[in-house]
Amino acid sequence: MLRTIILMSLTAIDQNMGLRGMDAYTQSNRELWNEWAAIHEHSSFYNLDGFKAGRCSLNSIELDALGEVAGKSLLHLQCHFGMDTLGWARRGARVTGADFSETAIARARSLSHELNIPAEFVVSEMQDLPHVLRGTFDIVFTSYGVLLWLPALSHWGQVVAHFLRPGGTFFVVEFHPFASVFDDESAELRVRYPYFAQPNPLAFPVIGSYADRNASVSTSVEYCWPFSLSDVVNALISAGLRIEALHEYPYSCFAQMPLLMSQNEAQEWRLREHADAVPLMFSIKATKA
């Protein structure tokens, strides 16, 4: 998910931490997500107790887009600790979840066992997944705050296509990159961050977690890669997928700019001013010939 963050100098962080190369950035992020996974399963943000009691963690956007999934095979990329993956399993899908966090996958397997919901979970970097996991799937799915952690969306598109069977469906719902340019600590709508991809990742100090701002976290820096909507679309087209639908939404499931947004009765976060002027999320549905 998107977080309230303070932009830091990547050069300064490199000097302080000695990080060089994409592997070092990714390793730092993996250590962070290992910590977050242990925090998130106990957070009110995820409401895992509610999920265990039967609450559906999936949102109407993905449920409406994918429809009936019973009997279909589904691969959930960047699945975190597996709650949404198991949500699809509860609806009858045969699910596999993949994530680069060892702690998250351990929690996912434990949750699957505890709830007696069959699922397969694998630990893998995105680029390594074709070497770790075999087979193809009727559905490949990913959602909410996942793409900014990936250095190369072109390779991501290839991974999606690799695992999607002919005639299969890919669906992504994500926070809109245009909304990510705005200052998330300001009471005014003003540009602070880049929209287009940069040569190096952006680096931010870690302050707890988006799910618990007061959580104690030892990893001090997170690295994110800006992307544009065209980056996402072109990655899928270049991988041979056919775009069936692209939707943009003037609301979000998360308070991306907390000082500027409020939540309505439908649990949608919208800007209090210019409510229908800024896209806050998007979704893409694509198929493989």
Q: What is the DSSP letter of 58?
A: S
pLDDT greater than 90 at residue 1: no
Q: What residues contact residue 5 under an 8 Å CB cut-off, 6+ apart? A: 184, 204, 205, 207, 222
Domain boundaries, the chain: 10-288
122-171: pLDDT as tens digits: 999 999 999 999 999 999 999 999 999 999 999 999 999 999 999 999 99
What's the gap between Cα 257 and its chain centre?
17
Q: Left, alpha or beta for 27 (phi > 0: left; psi -120 to 50: alpha)?
A: alpha
Beta strands in 159-226 (DSSP E): 164-175, 202-205, 221-224
Q: Judging by beta carbons within 10 Å of its beta carbon (0-12, 13-18, 19+), is residue 85 exposed, middle or buried?
A: buried
pLDDT greater than 50 at residue 6: no
CB of 171 closer than 8 Å to CB of 141: yes
Distance of alpha carbon 47 from alpha carbon 55, whole angstroms: 9
Q: What is the DSSP letter of 257?
A: S
CB of 239 closer than 8 Å to CB of 39: no
213-258: pLDDT as tens digits: 999 999 999 999 999 999 999 999 999 999 999 999 999 999 999 9
Q: What is the pLDDT of residue 23?
A: 86
Q: Left, alpha or beta for 158 (phi > 0: left; psi -120 to 50: alpha)?
A: alpha
Distance of alpha carbon 216 from alpha carbon 208, whole angstroms: 6
pLDDT greater than 70 at residue 110: yes
85-103: pLDDT as tens digits: 999 999 999 999 999 999 9
The architecture of the domain spanning 10-288 is 3-Layer(aba) Sandwich (3.40)
Provide the percentage of residues in the chain whose pLDDT is more than 70. Answer: 92
pLDDT greater than 90 at residue 286: yes
pLDDT greater than 80 at residue 15: no
Q: What is the mean pLDDT of the chain?
A: 92
Q: What is the pLDDT of residue 275?
A: 86
CB of 133 closer than 8 Å to CB of 164: no
Q: 127: helix, coil or strand?
A: helix
Q: Which residues of 200-211 are buried (b: 16+ CB within 10 A; e: fewer)?
A: ebbbbebbebbb
Q: What is the pLDDT of residue 12?
A: 36
